Structure 1
Amino acid sequence: MRFLKYLILTLVVLTVLGVGAVAGLYWYVKDELPSVETLRDVRFQTPMQVYSADGRLISQFGEQRRIPLTLDEIPQQMIDAILATEDSRFYSHRGIDPIGVMRAFRVLVTTGEIREGASTITMQLARNFFLTRERAWMRKIKEAFIALHIEQLLTKDEILELYLNKLELGHRAFGVGAAAQVYYGRDIHELTLAEIATLAGMPQGPSILNPISNPQASVQRRRIVLLRMLDEGYINRAEYDAAFNAPVTARYHTAEIEVSAPYLAEMVRLSMIERFGVDEAYNGGYRVFTTVNSEQQLAAQRALRENLHAYDERHGYRGPERRLWGMDLQRLSTIETFGAQHPADEETLEIIRRHRGQAWPQAEIVAYLNRQPRIAQLQPAVVLAVHEQSVDVITRVGETITLPWDQLDWARAYVDAERQGRAPQTAGEILRVGDHILLRPYDDAWRLAQIPGPGSAIVALRPQDGAVEAVVGGYSFNLNQFNRATQAKRQVGSTIKPFIYAHALERNFTLATLVNDAPITQWNPGSGSAWRPRNSPEVYDGPIRLREGLARSKNVVSVRLIRELGVNETADYLANFGFMNDEIPRNESLSLGSASFTPMEMARAFAVFANGGHLVDPYFIERIEDSDGNIVFQAEPRYACVECELEAFRKEHGEDAVPDRAFRPAPQVISEQVAYLVTEALNSAVWGGGSWAHNTGWNGTGWRAQSLRNRNLAGKTGTTNDVRDAWFAGYTSGISAVTWVGFDNLEFALGRSTLNANLGRQRQPIVGSEAGGTTALPGWILFMETALQHVESNPFELPSNMVSVRIDQPTGRLTNRTDHTSMFEYFIRGTEPTEFAEQNGRGRQVFEDEEGLFR
């Protein structure tokens, strides 16, 4: 009895001491314990995702990849694997597992080492949210107390759901949903038992147990998980045996980007950081839906690249990226570099030295090619053999392919921007064995290529509200992140002229007004020199109607107009189109395009003509959703036609439907009538005028756009001095699109090309000086071939207060003739001519005033 009394007393004392110790420890650390109330409203760090208007993923930003899932969205087999491996008694303990603690204590006593942590899922959750992985007793004590708090606050299912979404599983994957995508590129419901067991085995060591970094260790850990599942009765022997020997199928999967639009993605990223700050933008789980249509975006990207390659091919081949072997032995300390943007790495130089100018083994060639940067769709290759009119090359995947002569024959030597070498006759004149070259896909084959020299940009807006339909800021974002669509202010050349003509039409000029197309010489006493603006080409036609002057881009006509209108008055008028007033030159050179604007600014300005005179604000984010799908931002653009938007809304949602946002009107900056008249003249820039049958026909500078076979197109070319910038700005009722081409280095001109004898006119249709109509317009046409399938292209509606009368083409006066010498012209009511041309067609004598203006 005495022994029993002492035993009970000892147990009581030990219990009191234990409780006291626990209470003391709690008192000691309680001020350092975080509040677990935050778990009630936890927000996982989820990356920002950017989508096209039609819901295709464009990009993803964020340090962590996570796909939050509810517990019922996670397969039961994944839950079973985690429970069997990490905490088989999870649903029976209260945050601390006494059996696990005793087991860990026994191991400590018998071995003298801490081999088991006895951490439950709740304790791991506490550590993952509030603590570190530091192996220390105090961290373990805090972990236990936090776990007890969590168990009081949350249900078991809530704890397990948080745990499965918080797990760090290597390669920036957090949570089982993201891990399924990162390692297997599939939804978690599509994983096999072996793949589930692989993920379930990683929480204890995500860096050393993941199947990419350490496949052998991953397989051993997977087998332990499967055995635990078998012991717990979650799987049967047949399932165990099948998964036990399953091969490793994991490989790194990036986010499934469906539409490559890196320049747009960067615009969104900067906008989101400005709106939310860096951390919140990257990790707040926002889904950003842009205004960009995916098909038009891809079409713009293809058009820009194809157009630049066409330019580059007609100017000649600058040689291979590098020459890897077959060199003079005295040059082994360096590497022959031709068109490369990136210097050779030390490993490459070492291989060259080791082989002393001899051919490399195939394995080293493939390894070298896989180290090369990825630029657009260009693929690196190395020449293995050169034949009479073909070459054999090896690609980065180890495939040997033959390039036929018709994919090589364009590559005459580049001399400079103005000159090209003679057309090659054999492949040996172009390439040598050991050359590192670039290929590009071309008509289901591979074609010799090079990184294009100039830069380019394409921007397309919806004229009705300014929504960006497509934006490409360069050939490759990986090559150069400078966004020429929004950041490059370049001289606009003759694309400025429609705005000057609009000013003239506001001042009661008409499309039939005659202006003298004759040379101008203006002496400047201050500089002791003369300013002689010239037409390009230098052809002068005397008195010419404004319609034809704009369509044929007559420089001296534009100069005479700005003199008549006044430089300052014209500059002030141009500000109506959204141009910054302080960026508009206040001299006569403005009439020839000395102002510098971005392609985005030009697309916005031309949209004024397309929408009937309203200035819309470009925008590229339609809406932003938070991680729960709630809309936190909805664009509220201004519309050129509010009634049109309301009508479309009611047609889609019903006559009694009430819009959830106001349709705000865009400001009217020019009259609807002037916008229509400018569009008429710019339509002539595409389709020309006169009668070819009677030798009076003429082409506008945008005549190549006739290939689109769309009578409702309007547009204007632009070329600057020395051809440093080439533009085309064009539109229909449903889209305003601008293409620009030029070198980033302002010292470089686009130059000219001669005919390549190997190609002929059919394969090289553009020969001679580069210009807006030959350099920028072809890219615009390639884009519009797709864009016109997705946008409205209706005839522009004739505004009120307009009249159409038959005029005599040579004089611009009224006529009763109905032959090729006459045409119907549009006028704002009250500005139409009142005098008839003489019956002989010459009209009365035209007198020139001081400014050279004919009336």
Structure 2
Amino acid sequence: MKLIKRLILLTIICAFLGVISIIGMYFYLKPELPSVEVLREVKLQTPMRIFTADGKLISQYGVKRRIPVSLDDVPETLVQALIATEDSRFYDHIGVDPIGVVRAFINLVVTGERGQGASTLTMQMARGFFLTREKKFSRKIRELFIALHMEQELSKEQILELYLNKVELGHRAFGFGAAAQVYYGKNLNELNLAQIATLAGLPQAPSTLNPISRPERSKERRRIVLLRMLDEGYITRQQFDEAAQAPVSAKKHGAELALDAPYLADLIYNEMVEIYGKEIAETSGFNVYATAPYAIQKAAQEAVIQNLHDYDERHGYRGPLAQLWPALPPLEVEPVSTETPPLANTESSQDALLEDTPRFNPDAWSEEKITAYLDSVEEIAPLVPAVVLAVQERSASVIIAEGERIELTWDGLDWARPYINDQAQGEDPELASDILQEGMLIYIRKRAEDDVWQLGQFPDASGALVALNPENGAVQAVVGGYSFYHSQFNRATQAKRQVGSNIKPFVYSAAIDNGYNIASIINDAPINQWDASSGVAWRPQNSPAIYDGPIRMRVALGMSKNVVSVRLLRGVGLDQTVDYLTRFGFDKDDIPRDETLSLGSGSHTPLEVVTGIATLANGGFAVRPYFIDRIENDLDEVIWQANPVHACEPCISDESIQENVELSEEDIEAQLAAEFNQFGDTKGDPTQEKRSAERVISAQTAFLVTEMMRSAVRANGNWNNKTYWLGTGWRARNLLQREDIGGKTGTTNDSKDTWFSGFAGNLVATSWVGFDDASRQLGRTSRNQNLINKNPEKFNWIGNAMIGVEDGAKGAQPAWIRFMQAVLEDKDEVIKQIPDGIVRVRIDRKTGKLTRRNDHTSMFEYFRAGTEPTTYVVDDELSLPIDEEKKKQPEIEEIF
């Protein structure tokens, strides 16, 4: 009894000393405990999400994937699973579970090892928010005190909601909302019991128990969770059996994107980082809305991708990615004896026999080995890696990584004549064996227009397309290449390439403002200019090298006459033209200070070009491109709204034409900083009056230049009267069948860069195609009869069947046309009003003078009031019918 009394006394003394020590330790550590405000206003690190203008998710940025959820939106089954597994007395303890502490103490005494069995959900929260996972007594004591403190300041429901959103669950998923998306691609309320139990088992060890990295261990952990739920009475035995036996269905999912638009998203992300800094931008839960609508951005991406495939495929097939195993040699067949009575359709029967005869290839890989290998091959959407299993007469069987077998018909193979070089292609294939062999690793793709699988290859050439709203500069679409994941270089905004004849509308605009009119006669004749400094003559040539003598400016721009552009530059003056071009937003340092600038030797980005075209299309206003419409915080409150300048007459100043003022990079950054401060205090007011854009050219000049650009995209005159001529971009109006379009092709020397820029509806857009290696020519193509036979109605105006030297009309314009076809399909034409100060008079087609005739020799033309011709054509000057051979263009040869 004395011994027992002593033990009791010792226990009491130890307990008293322990309490005193704990109290002392609490007061010692109290200053380090988190404040009430920190606990109540804890900010979850939520990634930035980027949406289209109409609310479709296109990207998500942030190291931690988090989808905050409220407790009301969490399935009760998940709450039950967590409580049963992690803390069955959660609603009963004060933050620390005495029973759990005793259990952990006994475990320590018995085993000599420190465990974590005493941790409650509240203690896990304390560790997750404020501490580390290191196994030290000092950390554990701090954890206890913080848990007690949290229970005093927060309700059980608040603690549980924080836990559901904060806990780390592997694969950069933080919180159960994000984990449901990462592992299953679903919302929490869409998960079944097996999936919920899997997620509930992750907090213990997310790196080693997750169902993607360790499916077997995850399955074992799931069973433990289900057993605890069964023991606590949350589920029945039948539910337990069904969930425990369910297969592991998890696989890694990205954010649920409505459209993957990485070039657009990357521009917006970089702008957000520039303003807010990387950490704030990626963790503050911003919802950023682009100016680009979903449908327009999607159409632009599809147009660029299809156009690059068209270009690449008409130049031929470059062969497989690899030959995984040697194919069997072709089967030799004994010739049929001439003495044997011929069977009906002998040749067809023999082909059928060959196709049906199984041939064993000892080197062939197993299906399991093939699919495992394909898992390691990069998939570059829309290209899918595949392996050829068998080749028939005019078809081939392939397999993809998922194990699906796909039949490539002749319709998906017939394009693949051999690529020799950029200038030449081989013979058209006749059999599938001319193209493929068993064991080849290839790419295939599904055609967008008819869902037919066909042989594919990664395009060598690059492309870009950017579209703006000309009224305010809002970017409606931007595509910087074939695949952002293959090359993050954004050719729409970063690639300065020679623009070729795309510069001519701006040169003609300078001419209109310096004494020329739309009917001015310019001599389309060869130029020979001796350059004493170089000792050679400069001889700019038309392309093609056809010269028509004196022609009107409208015809010269429509037919893209190079020598006329040079003569206009000389008439205006080099320095004056350079200064004039800066009105359209071109950097003066990028404009050549010689006469080659009239032919487009200057290098500019597609974004710069389309911005200049917008000034012409909107009536002469300088709008600035912008990508972000508005920014919302994590509470869905608008913290910034774009307030762009507009091209509108009611909001302009009384001044007619203002000199263009160039902003330095420092000025632009200062403006951006004023618009976006760190916490979004300077948001724009969308209800305020529109701000006027600076007028840089007159409305009359803009109208006259766009009129000439309309002639460049159509057939003009009358064939029967022999006044017929084609603009270089004639395919556009043929396909779009709209009156409100205008544009200009552009091709540089040796076809290294091809362009098409134009306007239609309420859009302006620029398309570019070229190689990233600026020295490489886009080349030429010969006739591919297979494609002509398949698509005779498309021959010569769009697609793979186009032949000859690559130029702006063949290389870049088809993407522009496809894009406009998609976005303007249900849109009415937008016909701009003729501005004040424009008159329309009847002129002679040949001389540009006034005429009293109303036959095919005359036409109505627009002029700025006061610049119209004042003299009449005399009989000796009357127009003669255009000589058919002289006016014939290469495109005409393609049609007839």
TM-score, length-scaled by structure 1? 0.90
Instruction: Name which of 598, 612, 615 aligns with 1:591.
Output: 598
Query: Are residue 756 (structure 1) and residue 756 (structure 2) matched?
Result: no
Q: Which residue of 1 aligns with 2:473?
A: 466
Q: Which residue of 2 aligns with 1:771?
A: 807
Instruction: Name which of 501, 523, 528 aligns with 1:516.
Output: 523
Query: Are residue 709 (structure 1) and residue 737 (structure 2) matched?
Result: yes
Query: Are residue 799 (structure 1) and residue 806 (structure 2) matched?
Result: no
- 2:761–2:824 CA contact under 8 A, matched in 1: no
Gaps of 5+ in 1: 330-354, 646-657, 845-855
Separation in 2, partners of 1:70, 1:401: 45
Instruction: State the Cα distance separating 1:228 from its structure 2 match.
Output: 2.7
Q: Report the CA distance shift for 1:527/1:357 in structure 2 as closer, same or farther (over 3 A).
A: farther
- 1:287–1:626 CA contact under 8 A, matched in 2: yes
RMSD, aligned α-carbons: 2.5
Separation in 2, partners of 1:135, 1:790: 66
Q: Report the CA distance shift for 1:831/1:757 in structure 2 as closer, same or farther (over 3 A).
A: same
Counterpart of 1:782, as a letter, is R
Instruction: Map Cα deviations across residues 498-536 of structure 1 (whole Å, 9 max, x no partner).
Output: 001111111231111111111110011111110011111
Q: Which residue of 2 aligns with 1:811?
A: 847
Separation in 2, partners of 1:659, 1:169: 41
Query: Are residue 432 (structure 1) and residue 425 (structure 2) matched?
Result: no
Instruction: Report how many aligned residue pairs link the two structures.
Output: 807
Q: Report the CA distance shift for 1:642/1:33 in structure 2 as closer, same or farther (over 3 A).
A: farther
Separation in 1, partners of 2:243, 2:397: 44
Between 1:720-729 and 1:802-811, the stretch displaced more is 802-811
Q: Report the CA distance shift for 1:415/1:214 in structure 2 as closer, same or farther (over 3 A).
A: closer
Q: Which residue of 2 aligns with 1:691?
A: 718
Separation in 2, partners of 1:412, 1:7: 96
Counterpart of 1:834, as a letter, is T
Secondary structure of 1:730's match?
A: strand
Q: Which residue of 2 aligns with 1:654?
A: none
Counterpart of 1:598, as a letter, is T
Q: Report the CA distance shift for 1:201/1:430 in structure 2 as closer, same or farther (over 3 A).
A: closer
Secondary structure of 1:375's match?
A: coil
Query: Are residue 672 (structure 1) and residue 706 (structure 2) matched?
Result: no
Q: Report the CA distance shift for 1:3/1:749 in structure 2 as closer, same or farther (over 3 A).
A: closer
Query: Are residue 406 (structure 1) and residue 411 (structure 2) matched?
Result: yes
Instruction: Name which of 626, 650, 655 aligns with 2:633.
Output: 626
- 2:389–2:397 CA contact under 8 A, matched in 1: yes
Secondary structure of 2:695's match?
A: coil
Instruction: State the Cα distance separating 1:245 from its structure 2 match.
Output: 3.5
Between 1:276-285 and 1:84-93, the stretch displaced more is 84-93
Separation in 1, partners of 2:839, 2:283: 60
Q: Report the CA distance shift for 1:193/1:357 in structure 2 as closer, same or farther (over 3 A).
A: closer
Q: Which residue of 2 aligns with 1:144?
A: 144
Q: Which runs of 4+ in 1 moved over 4 A?
A: 1-12, 27-36, 642-645
Between 1:575-584 and 1:96-105, the stretch displaced more is 96-105
Q: Which residue of 2 aligns with 1:346?
A: none
Separation in 2, partners of 1:370, 1:785: 37
Instruction: State the Cα distance separating 1:395 from its structure 2 match.
Output: 2.3
Instruction: State the Cα distance separating 1:21 from its structure 2 match.
Output: 1.2
Q: Which residue of 2 aligns with 1:252?
A: 252
Instruction: State the Cα distance separating 1:84 from its structure 2 match.
Output: 2.1
Instruction: State the Cα distance separating 1:136 from its structure 2 match.
Output: 1.8
- 2:842–2:861 CA contact under 8 A, matched in 1: yes
Q: Which residue of 2 aligns with 1:445?
A: 452
Q: Which residue of 1 aligns with 2:534?
A: 527
Q: Which residue of 2 aligns with 1:745?
A: 773
Q: Which residue of 1 aligns with 2:690?
A: 663
Secondary structure of 1:805's match?
A: strand
Instruction: State the Cα distance separating 1:195 from its structure 2 match.
Output: 2.1
Instruction: Map Cα deviations across residues 335-372 of structure 1 (whole Å, 9 max, x no partner).
Output: xxxxxxxxxxxxxxxxxxxx999322222122222211
Q: Which residue of 2 aligns with 1:417?
A: 422
- 1:609–1:679 CA contact under 8 A, matched in 2: yes
- 1:326–1:357 CA contact under 8 A, matched in 2: no
Q: Which residue of 2 aligns with 1:335?
A: none
Q: Which residue of 1 aligns with 2:191?
A: 191
Secondary structure of 2:222's match?
A: helix
- 1:733–1:796 CA contact under 8 A, matched in 2: no
Q: Report the CA distance shift for 1:765/1:234 in structure 2 as closer, same or farther (over 3 A).
A: closer
Instruction: State the Cα distance separating 1:226 from its structure 2 match.
Output: 2.8
Aligned pairs for 1:301-312 within 5 A? 301-312=301-312
Query: Are residue 393 (structure 1) and residue 429 (structure 2) matched?
Result: no
Q: Which residue of 1 aligns with 2:504?
A: 497
Instruction: State the Cα distance separating 1:268 from its structure 2 match.
Output: 1.6
Instruction: State the Cα distance separating 1:288 from its structure 2 match.
Output: 1.2
Separation in 1, partners of 2:399, 2:198: 37
Secondary structure of 1:633's match?
A: strand
Q: Report the CA distance shift for 1:121/1:392 in structure 2 as closer, same or farther (over 3 A).
A: closer
Q: Report the CA distance shift for 1:453/1:237 in structure 2 as closer, same or farther (over 3 A).
A: closer
Instruction: Map Cα deviations across residues 797-818 of structure 1 (whole Å, 9 max, x no partner).
Output: 1001111111111111111211
Q: Which residue of 2 aligns with 1:847?
A: none
Gaps of 5+ in 2: 330-359, 653-684, 881-896
Separation in 1, partners of 2:247, 2:433: 47
Q: Report the CA distance shift for 1:6/1:403 in structure 2 as closer, same or farther (over 3 A).
A: closer
Q: Which residue of 2 aligns with 1:338?
A: none
Q: Report the CA distance shift for 1:365/1:644 in structure 2 as closer, same or farther (over 3 A).
A: farther
Counterpart of 2:458, as a letter, is I
Instruction: State the Cα distance separating 1:49 from its structure 2 match.
Output: 1.1
Instruction: State the Cα distance separating 1:727 from its structure 2 match.
Output: 0.3
Secondary structure of 2:208's match?
A: coil
Separation in 2, partners of 1:392, 1:14: 80
Aligned pairs for 1:480-629 within 5 A? 480-629=487-636
Query: Are residue 363 (structure 1) and residue 368 (structure 2) matched?
Result: yes
Separation in 1, partners of 2:827, 2:771: 31
Q: Report the CA distance shift for 1:504/1:29 in structure 2 as closer, same or farther (over 3 A).
A: same
Counterpart of 1:489, as a letter, is K
Separation in 2, partners of 1:37, 1:371: 50
Query: Are residue 641 (structure 1) and residue 648 (structure 2) matched?
Result: yes
Q: Which residue of 2 aligns with 1:339?
A: none
Secondary structure of 2:830's match?
A: coil
Separation in 2, partners of 1:257, 1:529: 58
Instruction: State the Cα distance separating 1:158 from its structure 2 match.
Output: 1.4
Query: Are residue 106 (structure 1) and residue 106 (structure 2) matched?
Result: yes
Between 1:713-722 and 1:167-176, the stretch displaced more is 167-176
Between 1:373-382 and 1:86-95, the stretch displaced more is 86-95
Q: Report the CA distance shift for 1:357/1:541 in structure 2 as closer, same or farther (over 3 A).
A: farther
Q: Which residue of 2 aligns with 1:735?
A: 763
Secondary structure of 1:275's match?
A: helix
Q: Which residue of 1 aligns with 2:709?
A: 682
- 2:525–2:548 CA contact under 8 A, matched in 1: yes
Q: Report the CA distance shift for 1:246/1:400 in structure 2 as closer, same or farther (over 3 A).
A: closer
Instruction: State the Cα distance separating 1:210 from its structure 2 match.
Output: 2.1
Instruction: State the Cα distance separating 1:34 from its structure 2 match.
Output: 4.9
- 2:784–2:801 CA contact under 8 A, matched in 1: no
Separation in 2, partners of 1:243, 1:365: 33
Instruction: State the Cα distance separating 1:9 from its structure 2 match.
Output: 6.6
Separation in 2, partners of 1:397, 1:226: 32
Instruction: State the Cα distance separating 1:241 from its structure 2 match.
Output: 4.3
Instruction: State the Cα distance separating 1:643 from its structure 2 match.
Output: 4.4
- 2:651–2:692 CA contact under 8 A, matched in 1: no
Separation in 1, partners of 2:407, 2:77: 50
Separation in 2, partners of 1:184, 1:720: 51
Instruction: State the Cα distance separating 1:735 from its structure 2 match.
Output: 0.3
Q: Which residue of 2 aligns with 1:153?
A: 153
Identity of aligned residues (%): 54
- 1:599–1:738 CA contact under 8 A, matched in 2: yes
- 2:714–2:731 CA contact under 8 A, matched in 1: no
